Structure 1
Amino acid sequence: MRYNVCVVGGTGFIGSHLVARLVTMGHVVRLPTRRAEAAKALAVLPGVELVECDVHDPRALERVIAGSDAVINLVGILHGERGTPYGRAFARAHVELPRKIAQACSDRGIARLLHMSALGADSNGPSMYQRSKGDGEVAIRETGIAATIFRPSVVFGPGDHFLNTFARLQRRLPIVPLAGAKARFQPVYVMDVAQAFANALDNDVTVGKTYELGGPDVYTLEELVRFAGAACGCGRPILPLPDSTARLQAAIFEKLPGEPILTRDNLDSMTVDNVMTGPLAPELGVVPNGLEIAVDYLNGGHWEKRMSDYRRFAGR
């Protein structure tokens, strides 16, 4: 079935891949964005409509989702100012916006809402990120809408800020001082995340359920950094940092200009294993790819080529 889908947060890393996947499946995608110029790579895909608006404005949000068969929310941030139980940025992106989206769907009679949460989301979790993600799930449920919620582990793929960051650091540094070296993750390929969302869209069995998403294998952070170095051909020695030094490093990174590589809140999140409690749900129809698929882009593959492939598959 062909759907009209509004994808909130669709211009980011995961969103770009999901929008492209939806288009190849024949769906029509409306993509709200603050600046259409920032989404020009997606604008060339057939069936994509860019709408400049502020989705945090309830009236603008209601207008942009009007006429949609389904709404997908992918908005998320990794860093924000500190606060109790979390800072303002986390509250705005992870709690208030999901509530507004769910309420707008309810008011407009849109029954299908797919929401991106995170593995480890917990209103009582150790980090602001996890607590805000947990409260965002609660906020959606409180509106009464039966959303499908996804909780992925760390997501990798072309254009990611995860493995690519580790590769970039090893190209520049003679040694990698690593905080949280023993933290455990179950990385999931971005195309598999996109496929899970796309398959759930047309599967009533998934309505109202919460799904964990992860890849086939579990790794420590140190193992992931070593993999990224080997894949890009520039592996460096890794120096695991004790907790006290790691927190000092993170506090310093927080003060530097630009997006921090690491924050104290990230370290708080890593005190809990980012690992699934069971296998992928069969109704999602996804056979997860292993980490080795990342070699393609870490050693020189380009997102532009992937976008060209999507356009070709979509008949452009």
Structure 2
Amino acid sequence: MTRFSVLDLVPVVEGGSIGQALASAVTLAQAAERLGYHRYWVAEHHGMAGIASAATAVTLAHIGQATSTIRIGSGGIMLPNHSPFVIAEQFGTLDALFPGRIDLGLGRAPGADGRIAQMLRKDLMRAAEAFPSDVVELQALFAGDSRLPLQATPGQGAAVDIWILGSSLFGAQLAAMLGLPFAFASHFAPAALDQALGLYRREFRPSQRLERPYVAAAINVIAAPTDAEAVLLGSSMDQSFVALRTGTPGKLKPPVEGYRQSLPPSALAMLEGFREASAVGSADTVRTRVAAFIERTAADELIFAGSTHDPAARVRSLELAMSAVEGL
């Protein structure tokens, strides 16, 4: 049976604050736990006024204290931004605080535009090239490999579940080579979805971590009592994506009636591509579209993405979506 999980961008809404966004994240994670979602992930993004999870490990500690059973983790940590040693310490600490609950999804993108390299004082192009070896080093740090010059404390011996994330074939190939679970970012970059999952499954090599391929695929899900209300709620997410792609990102805006009809053809086409992996509508509509996505991907797990301007609407969306997809 397919598992269902949650990706939360911890959105800062127009008219709201970072503190309110972090409080809403706790409410959402608690709802996800109560409803039976398998895991709750947040992602590393930098310099974006509308996303409050840049300090990802700190955000996860905040969530962990407010929950008790749901797995929590990163979807993901952008490893080229960091020393593997520091990430081992951070997530080793999280594992000590919340044992058996910590996921570490790893990506090789910077999580920001080119200015982040200057702010981090790093050559991110070279760091991205070192991504595979950094993942292996991180595994060695958690394993307490005696060949390392220094052990990570916390970190050594931590039971952190490492994932490879990706929106292209590179992540799929690396996850297959290392025998790690693979999560595909189809919620915003669906173009290579089918090819990436096929490559991962074809080339997968069993490891101590995993005997057979394990795939998670992200899908935007906004559920509401009616299709029309869900489409209206989803217009906040649409506005956010168009703003990001046109170089004007900001806080998450309120819904706009008829937003898609107001767009020029080029922007609408771009949005349609982004929304390919989406289930926006009533419970019946969500069930139909999620079932089709499961059939397309044969994913072991789906990760429900999607932001709403009203945090309560996202909680209600998770409730309706879970009732719609139970048994799929």
Q: TM-score, normalised by structure 2?
A: 0.36
Q: TM-score, normalised by structure 1?
A: 0.37
